[in-house]
Amino acid sequence: MYCRSSRAIKNRLSIVAVIPLLITCFVIGVLAYQEGKAAVTKEIENNLVSRRNAMQAQVEHYVQTISDQLVTLAGSTMVVDASRAFSGAFASYPHVREAELSLSRFYETQFLDQYRQKNRVTVSARVACLRDLK
């Protein structure tokens, strides 16, 4: 009898010792999981921020390059001379009445249906705009 109660006490003591150990292991596991998840999340966030900053720098560099090219071209005597020559040539280009009538007929007959589907302005208003270019 003494042997049985001694064993029962040993088993109970073992269980009492194992339960806190299991609880401790579980708590440590949960904390380790949360820390690992937070570390991975932070790493992913840092990676995305780094990529965003790199893309931002590339876009800014591209825009600056285009801006520099525009400034260079705007100051170029060749471009200034070409734009003046174009404006003068356009103004002095002979207007052929038959060409204007042909263009008006095309817009008022063949192109009218397509134009009405896609635009709210009447064809006659657009033709008047063409006449104003003279």
DSSP string across the chain: -HHHHHHHHHHHHHHHHHHHHHHHHHHHHHHHHHHHHHHHHHHHHHHHHHHHHHHHHHHHHHHHHHHHHHHHHHH-HHHHHHHHHHHHHHHHSPPPHHHHHHHHHHHHTTSHHHHHHH-SS-HHHHHHHHHHT-
Domain range for residue 102? Answer: 96-134
pLDDT score at 66 = 96
Q: Is 104 domain-assigned?
A: yes
- Count of domains observed in the chain: 1
pLDDT score at 25 = 94
Q: Is 54 domain-assigned?
A: no
pLDDT score at 92 = 82
Q: Is 59 domain-assigned?
A: no
pLDDT score at 134 = 56
Q: Is 120 domain-assigned?
A: yes
What pTM does this model have?
Answer: 0.45
Q: Is 106 domain-assigned?
A: yes
Q: Is 55 domain-assigned?
A: no
Per-residue pLDDT of the chain (134 residues; tens, 9 = 90+): 556 677 888 888 888 888 999 999 999 999 999 999 999 999 999 999 999 999 999 999 999 999 999 999 888 899 889 988 998 888 887 777 788 888 878 877 888 778 777 877 676 777 677 666 65
